[in-house]
Structures are given as structure tokens and as C-alpha cells.
Amino acid sequence: MCWHAAGFFCCNANPTVRNVLNLLYQSSAWAAAAAMVGVLIMVLLSILGRLLHFHLPGTDAYAGYAMAGAGFLALAHTLKKGEHIRVTLIIGKLKGKARHALEMWSLTVAVLLSGLFAFYAWRLVMQSREFNDISTGNDATPLWIPQIFMAVGTTVLLIAFLDDWLLQLLGKRDRADHEGTHHE
């Protein structure tokens, strides 16, 4: 049983928190999939418009917004599934404390960078809303609306990195090496 504060968030003593985190990552992946469907719909509408001689303004812009949203919303789920590209040339050769130390260093840098990314993504959303920034296309979409997907995606990525950082600190991180399973 985990008695320290970090254990509350990540060990088997509290499956509710683990279930909530997994639901967050899965929900983000489903939102990314919905955004990809949005890209498909916008492209199909654009094609149908050309074939049937009608024009729906903004379909290209909305396809781009949906594509960006899909990319950012999928980041955390991809990380948790071990599908991010990692260069394991050095870490793959290490064992024990040296590997743990390098993993902690890597995850600390990842937490800091994703935290900065999330902070500035939310700052961009707030500034776009404050300045009433709109797209330059004929759709005139307030840019803070599509920017929210970037901010949410980077925030969920930060949570996923914090989750991995705590799991690594406690020695409970899944250490399955994914680099050996993918040959592309």
C-alpha cells in the first residue's frame, strides 16, 4: 500500500485515479479521431462543392483546424501507448540506477517543456480572445476557438508526462521497451 502523496496518484492503491487518467487519455484520443472525421467531412464537402458547383466558404480552413486539433489531442494517448519516437541508443544500453536516472532526467525535461508548451498555448488562446483575433480567410473564425484544441492537447500531454514522471520515480512505470517491437 502506498502511504506517500505521490503514491496516491499512480500506484495500485488508488485505482480510481488511474481509471480517471486512463479515461482522460482515451477521451483525448477519441476527440482526435472525431477531429479526423471532421477533416474528412470538410474535404468531402469541398469536393462535392466543386462537382455540384456550389461553394462553402471556410472548408479549407476548418479542415486545417481539425487536422491541427487531431494532432495535438492525440499526443498524450500516443505517449501512453509507447508510440512516440524515442532514440534509445544510450538508454537501451543502461541498466539499474543509471537507466533510472537517465529516464528521470528525460522525463523531467519532457515535463518542463510540455509545461511551457501548455502555458504558452493557453496564453495564446487568451490573447486571441482578448484581441478578438480572427482568421484571415472568408470564414472569419475567432482564432481562440481552434486554438483551444492545441491548448487542451498540450495540457493533457503535460498530465501524461507528469504521470510517467511519478510512475518512474516510484519504480512503477511500465518498462516494456517498445523500440524492439516496431521496425519501420
Query: 16-31: per-residue pLDDT in tens?
Result: 999 999 999 999 999 9
Q: What is the pLDDT of residues 34-70, one digit of tens each?
A: 999 999 999 999 999 999 999 888 888 899 999 999 9
Q: What is the pLDDT of residue 126?
A: 97
Q: What is the pLDDT of residue 84?
A: 81
Mean pLDDT of the residues in the chain = 87
Of 81, 89, 92, the C-alpha closest to 174 is 81
Return d(Cα 105, Cα 102) in angstroms, integer. 5
Please give the span between the terminal C-alpha atoms of the chain, in angstroms, as a whole number. 41
Q: Give the DSSP letter of residue 133.
A: -
The CA–CA distances, whole Å, from 131 to 118, 128, 150 equal 20, 5, 18
Contact 68, 148 (CB under 8 A): no
Entry pTM: 0.84
Contact 100, 175 (CB under 8 A): no
Return d(Cα 137, Cα 135) in angstroms, integer. 5
Name which residue leads in pLDDT, 151 or 88. Answer: 151
Q: What is the pLDDT of residues 63-104, one digit of tens each?
A: 999 999 999 999 999 999 988 877 788 888 889 899 999 999
Q: What is the pLDDT of residue 15?
A: 85
